[in-house]
């Protein structure tokens, strides 16, 4: 039996032989699943590098146009409508805003844009959190556009797809 513990920005793995190895957590992955009434699906990759987290991937099954894209507080996908993922990840208690606003939720990643085929390519970076801060939390892709100002979450509409962020 192995145990894995998150300690600061490092991952401490302990195995049966009582060997202790410390590994820097640098990569994570999230597999997007649809909520009821939607067909959203995809894979999102995260990589910690040079003080930033790079977020890349592809989400399909969306309507063409902008869709709110956030990290939410909980990695709980049990509610059919995605509400069990809670609100936006906001450890400093800031109000909602665009990712380039001076103060905003750490999980405010703005919008992703789906093409005419309903496919959105994701290529974002954030220095608002460390990778270890978001393991076990959830990405949420909304059905509508995040207006980047409305409180508490940008008026982005229903949660079309969710994905728990896991160690890769």
The single residue of 67, 88, 104, 137 carrying the catalytic annotation is: 88
- Is 18 known to be catalytic? no
- Is 45 known to be catalytic? no
- Is 72 known to be catalytic? yes
The single residue of 67, 70, 104, 137 carrying the catalytic annotation is: 70
The single residue of 104, 105, 128, 133 carrying the catalytic annotation is: 105
The single residue of 67, 104, 108, 137 carrying the catalytic annotation is: 108
Question: Helices in 9-150 by DSSP H: which ranges?
Answer: 131-134
* Tokens 């290529």 sit on residue: 123
The single residue of 96, 128, 133, 146 carrying the catalytic annotation is: 96
**Residue 60 is inside which H or E element, if any?**
strand 52-60
**What whole-number distance in Å separates Cα of residue 101 and Cα of residue 133?**
21
The single residue of 67, 104, 142, 146 carrying the catalytic annotation is: 142
- Is 104 known to be catalytic? no
**What whole-number distance in Å separates Cα of residue 15 and Cα of residue 113?**
43
**Any idea which residues carry the catalytic annotation?**
70, 72, 88, 96, 105, 108, 142, 159
């Amino acid at each position: 039996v192995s145990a894995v513990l998150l300690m600061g920005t490092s991952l401490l793995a302990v195995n049966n032989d009582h060997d202790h190895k410390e590994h820097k957590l640098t990569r994570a992955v999230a597999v997007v699943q649809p909520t009821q009434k939607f067909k959203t699906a995809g894979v999102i990759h995260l990589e910690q590098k040079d003080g930033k987290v790079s977020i890349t991937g592809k989400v399909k099954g969306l309507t063409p146009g902008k869709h709110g894209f956030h990290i939410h507080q909980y990695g709980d996908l049990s509610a059919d409508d995605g509400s069990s993922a809670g609100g936006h990840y906001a450890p400093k208690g800031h109000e909602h805003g665009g990712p380039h606003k001076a103060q905003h939720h750490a999980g405010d990643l703005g919008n992703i844009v789906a093409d005419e085929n309903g496919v959105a390519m994701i290529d974002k970076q954030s220095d608002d959190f460390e990778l270890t801060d978001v393991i076990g939390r959830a990405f949420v892709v909304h059905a509508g556009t995040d207006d980047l100002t409305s409180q508490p979450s940008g008026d982005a509409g229903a949660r079309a797809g969710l994905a728990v962020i896991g160690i890769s």
